[in-house]
Structure 1
Amino acid sequence: MFNNREAVLTVVKNYNIQRNAEYRMLESDSLKYHYRCKQFTIGCPWSLHMALRYNLNYWQPSYRKIWMEKQKAIAKIYGDWEESYNRISALLQALQECLPGTIHECIVVPYYNVNMIDREWSWFDKVFWPFPLCIEAFKHCKPFVSVDGTHLYGKYKGMLLIAMAQDGNNNILPIAFSLVEFETTESWSFFLSNLRQHVTPQPGILIISDRSQVIRANLNAPHSGWHPPSAYHAYCIWHMASNFNSRFKSA
C-alpha cells in the first residue's frame, strides 16, 4: 500500500533499476496505473496494476483490474462471455465441431499473483486460426498471399494479423487470422510459421508484405520455410507509394 502516487512511481522506478529492466506505462490517470515490462511479450511476467482507494486514501494493487484484463483478452475473440477464459480450450474445440477441419493454435503464458505463479489460471497471449473452406479455396487461387496487420479499435485493443489471397476474378479472400497483443518479432513468427504449415505449404508461393523489418527478419530466419525456391518475398507497391507520398508531400 502507498500513501500517494509519487510513492508508486518511485517504487516502480527503483524496482526496475534493481533488476536492470525497462518497463512501459500502458495506462495512467488520477485513479490508476498500469505498468508492464518491455520484455513481457517474450516471456517476462512482470506487470503491475495500481488503483487509488478513495475511501481509504491509499494506493494498492488492483486485483479487479487483473481479472478485467483476463476478460478483455478472451473477449477479443468471443465477446463478453462470463467464465469463457477458463474454458478457452473447450470453446476452440466447439469451433472445430461447428466447422470440422478448423485449425487453431492458442498460446497462453503463466499467470502471476504478485510474485507467485497461480497454476489455476493462465494469461491468454495469442491465437491463430484459418477456416477450412478458406484453406481449400486457396488451392484454387493465384499462387501468392499478402500479409498485414491492423490495430483493433474500440473497447478492446490489440492487433489482428491477416493473410489474404486473390482468386481468378481478382476477388480478395481472407485465409488466416491471428489475434496478438503487439506487432512483435514473436507474434509475426507465430503467425507466419502457422500460415506456412497449415495454409500455404505449396512450393513456389509468393508472399507480399510492407517493408516491416520484423516481417522480413521472420521470413529470412533459417527455418522459416519461406526461402527460395519454396517461397519468394516481394514488397507491396501500395505501401511503398503510400510511404513515398507521406514523406514527400510536395513531390
Structure 2
Amino acid sequence: MKDYTICQGVDYRVYESEPTTFYAKYHSKLGSDTFAEAIKPLVEVDPSIKVKSVIAEVQSKFNYTVSYRKAWLATQKAVESIFGGWEASYEALPIWFEAMCHKEPSAVVYFETMLAYQGDDLVDGTHLYEKYKGCLLVVVSQDGNNNIVPIAFAIVEGETSDAWHFFLSNLRQHVVTRDGVGLISDRHESINSSIIRSNGAWSPPRAFHMFCIRHIELNFLRKFKAPYL
C-alpha cells in the first residue's frame, strides 16, 4: 500500500479498519513519514547513507522524485525509528561505558554533569553539530610503527580553559602517568591556560609542550595568503 501511494505521489490516512479490509482517505501531499517507512531497509544497512542516494533510490524504485528536504527528514526519522533518538543515545552512554570498562578493566570513564547543556601525544578539539552542540576533545599517540592510536576523548561544552583543564587533568591522572612526554597541540589559548593551571603536570621536566607543524602551516597561510612561501 505504501509503495503504491509513493508511486502515485499521494499519501493516505486510515479512518476505519476491519480484519480483512481498511478504509483510507488520500490527500495529494506525500509526507516524510511514509518515505521514512519505505527507506528503513536502506538506512538499516547504511545509517550514514547520503540524502542524494535516498533520492536516487526512491526515483529508481517508485519513479517519483522527492525533494531534498523531504528525503532528509525521512532519513532522520528512519534513523530515529531504527536506532533511537538523540536523547536515547545520550541516556545510553553510561550503560555503553560500563560495558566498555567491563570488557577492558584498564579503561577509565569520568562523568561531570551540568545543570543544563548549553610517544608524543597530540591533542585537539573539533566542534559538534546537529541537535546537541559542544566540542569533542581527543588525544592520540604514535607508536613505534608510526601508527596513530586514539587513547582518550571527552565531550565538553566548548573549547574553553575549564574544559581543557578537565580533560588534561584526567588524562594526566589516568592515562599519561609517566614523565618526560611530549604534548603536541595547536597551542590554542585555552590549552595554554589549562597547562599553566596544571601545577607543573604538563610542564618541563614532566612534559614538554610543542607546536603542531600542521597548524603552523595553516596559520602562516591564513595570515600571509602566499602559498609559494
TM-score for the superposition, normalised by structure 2: 0.56
Number of aligned pairs?
146
Asked whether the equivalents of residues 152 and 159 of structure 1 are also in contact (C-alpha less than 8 Å), the reply is: yes
Q: Deviations over 1:116-175 (max 9, x none)?
A: xxxxxxx468xxxxxxxxxxxxxxxx2x10100011244543211100111112111111
Specify the alignment match of 2:173 in structure 1: 197
| Structure 2 unaligned regions, length at least 5 | 1-79
Deviating beyond 6 angstroms after TM superposition, the runs of 4 or more aligned structure 1 residues are none
Aligned-partner SS, 1:106: coil
Q: Matches of 2:91 and 2:132 in 1, distance apart?
A: 19
Specify the alignment match of 1:178 in structure 2: 154
Specify the alignment match of 2:138 in structure 1: 162
Q: Matches of 1:151 and 1:86 in 2, distance apart?
A: 21
Q: Matches of 1:194 and 1:152 in 2, distance apart?
A: 21
Specify the alignment match of 1:93 in structure 2: 98
Asked whether the equivalents of residues 179 and 205 of structure 2 are also in contact (C-alpha less than 8 Å), the reply is: yes
Q: How does 1:54-69 map to 2 (within 5 A)?
A: none
| Larger strand proportion of the pair | 1
Asked whether the equivalents of residues 210 and 235 of structure 1 are also in contact (C-alpha less than 8 Å), the reply is: yes
2:183 corresponds to which of 192, 202, 207:
207
TM-score for the superposition, normalised by structure 1: 0.51
- Give 1:80 shift: 2.8
Alignment partner of 1:103 is 2:79: no
Amino acid at match of 2:151: I
Q: Matches of 1:98 and 1:124 in 2, distance apart?
A: 30
Q: CA separation of 1:80/1:237 partners in 2, compared to 1, >3 Å: closer, same or farther? A: same
Asked whether the equivalents of residues 218 and 224 of structure 1 are also in contact (C-alpha less than 8 Å), the reply is: no
- Give 1:224 shift: 5.2
Specify the alignment match of 2:207 in structure 1: 231
Specify the alignment match of 1:146 in structure 2: 122
Alignment partner of 1:188 is 2:141: no
- Give 1:95 shift: 2.8
Alignment partner of 1:219 is 2:224: no
- Greater displacement, 146-155 / 236-245: 146-155
Q: CA separation of 1:234/1:163 partners in 2, compared to 1, >3 Å: closer, same or farther? A: same
- Give 1:180 shift: 1.0
Q: Matches of 2:125 and 2:86 in 1, distance apart?
A: 26
Asked whether the equivalents of residues 188 and 218 of structure 1 are also in contact (C-alpha less than 8 Å), the reply is: yes
Specify the alignment match of 1:128 in structure 2: none
Aligned-partner SS, 1:219: helix
> Identity rate of aligned residues, in percent?
44
Q: CA separation of 1:80/1:176 partners in 2, compared to 1, >3 Å: closer, same or farther? A: same
Q: CA separation of 1:90/1:170 partners in 2, compared to 1, >3 Å: closer, same or farther? A: closer
Specify the alignment match of 1:244 in structure 2: 220
Specify the alignment match of 1:131 in structure 2: none
Q: CA separation of 1:79/1:238 partners in 2, compared to 1, >3 Å: closer, same or farther? A: farther
Asked whether the equivalents of residues 205 and 230 of structure 1 are also in contact (C-alpha less than 8 Å), the reply is: yes
